Structure 1
Amino acid sequence: MTRPTTGSWRDYGAVHLPAPLRAALEAFMEHGYHGTSVRDIASRAGLSVPGLYHHYPSKQSLLQGLLELTMTDLLRRSAQAIEEAGDDPVTQFDAVVESLLRFHMFRREQAFVGSTELRSLDDDYRPTYIGHRTRQQRMVDEIVLSGVRSGVFVTVDPKGAARAVASMCVGVSTWYRVDGELGADELIARNLDYARAIVGYRPSR
């Protein structure tokens, strides 16, 4: 099944990040947060260390800046997908799952760093970042609960099923490759089937 790819929440071009954040992303992907030096990030960005500090005062601020942009983009796309889907919980569910899948495919590196470097966040920012993730999860939770109330989803554990669906989508960032055997639309179609199975989708007759 091939799904349409029009609409801004479905549109993914090249990643446009400020040079210091782009350099930090590359370094964190290669060496991890703790294995990356500020000097390495500065060199990748074409800056001196003092020049880098002029924009971002610490390596932690680079990580936080990167994750803030990542989550802002993710939440915007999810909210837009749900809004465009209308009031039907099945259409909303398909939209938010597709949005999550596309993001974790086409912003794979940003999503991967966001998942793996949670442990590296300072205590003052960690609650903010977790709050973003919680907001995203609640979008899925509310749709699944709505589907259960309307009888189209029959899972006995709506919140557990919603967490499983979101985790499946997030996990795509660990294995998706643009040059893989299946194209993005086919992978999305298959994973939508898996997601519907998790929530116990029961089509109306």
Structure 2
Amino acid sequence: MGRQTARTKQPNRMRRAEPGPGFESDPGPDWRHYEELELSPFLEAALEEFWAHGYHGGSVRAIAGRVGVTLPTLYYHHGSKQGLLVALLMGSMHDVLARARLALGEAGDRPEDQLANVVESITLYMAHRRRLAFLDGEIRNLEPENRERYRAEREELSAMLRRIAAHGVEDGVFTTAYPAEAVRAILSMCQAVATWYRSDGPLTEAEVARRYVAVALDAVGHRGRGTNSRNASAP
């Protein structure tokens, strides 16, 4: 009976571990390119369950059933349902950050080009990896320590865009009086793509990203500076 009690408590505990790498191989210089994502059987099953029923509605037993393993085997690999959610969220955040860093590095010194590349990279990720990106709404279900870890990672994206916006204001190419608020609006806009985008809809991922770049540049009051600047009215 003592063993049974210990077993029932196990799902509520997550093994403490540093977040591992993301799910994608290094995209290399082509941060716009996406291959079919292949998750481990455990994480794919958890993602399907959370996508269909949400975190609270998702069943650990159903996840194990999707994989064809026993509950103890699932607990051995991921510790708990919380452990599965953390692995999915942290892996996804690792990947979007990796692409955003590459996009920023490719953009050069102009803040308008930096903003355009980073917004494009985030929007493309939200569209191509929308099942994973959609899980961002589940951070309310993370335990406090896990929530802080995830938010610290997510803050890097916000800080990256805030630095770009501040640089653009100082450089005179962004005219917004509210750069921090503009960045917050841009991030919210990009993240929302995961909630509505459909690959069989009228727009491709690239077309959505180009439009969102134009909206983002409008949000910071980009006024342009010659023919070398990114064309904000791109289709």
TM bracket (short chain): over 0.9
Tell me which residue corresponds to 2:51.
29
**TM-score with structure 1 length normalisation?**
0.93
Tell me which residue corresponds to 2:10.
none
Tell me which residue corresponds to 1:113.
135
Residue among 131, 155, 171 paired with 2:192: 171
- SS state of the match for residue 32, structure 1? helix
Tell me which residue corresponds to 1:93.
115
Tell me which residue corresponds to 2:170.
149
- SS state of the match for residue 87, structure 1? coil
Indicate the percent of aligned positions where both proteins have the same amino acid. 44
Shift in Å at residue 184 of structure 1?
2.0
Unaligned runs of 5+ in 1: 1-5
Tell me which residue corresponds to 2:41.
19
After superposition, give the CA deviation of every residue in 1:87-139 in whole Å (9 maximum; x if it has no partner). 1111111100000100000010111112x101100112111111111111111
Q: Report matched runs for 1:34-183 at 5 Å.
A: 34-114=56-136, 116-183=137-204
1:195 equivalenced with 2:211 (yes/no): no
Letter in 2 for 1:128: R
Shift in Å at residue 72 of structure 1?
0.6
Unaligned runs of 5+ in 2: 1-27, 227-235
Shift in Å at residue 46 of structure 1?
2.3
Q: Distance in 2 between matches of 1:8 and 1:188?
A: 15
**TM-score with structure 2 length normalisation?**
0.82
After superposition, give the CA deviation of every residue in 1:145-202 in whole Å (9 maximum; x if it has no partner). 1111101110000111011111111111111111111222222222211111111000
Q: Distance in 2 between matches of 1:186 and 1:76?
A: 22
Greater relative contact order (Cα 8 A, min sep 6): structure 1 or 2? 1
Tell me which residue corresponds to 2:25.
none
Of residues 154-163 and 15-24 in structure 1, the stretch that sits farther from structure 2 once superposed is 15-24
Q: Distance in 2 between matches of 1:80 and 1:173?
A: 21
Find runs of 4+ consecutive structure 1 residues off by over 3 angstroms: none
Bigger radius of gyration among the two: 2
Q: Distance in 2 between matches of 1:37 and 1:186?
A: 37
After superposition, give the CA deviation of every residue in 1:68-91 in whole Å (9 maximum; x if it has no partner). 101110111111110111111111
Letter in 2 for 1:66: L
Aligned residues: 199
Tell me which residue corresponds to 1:3.
none
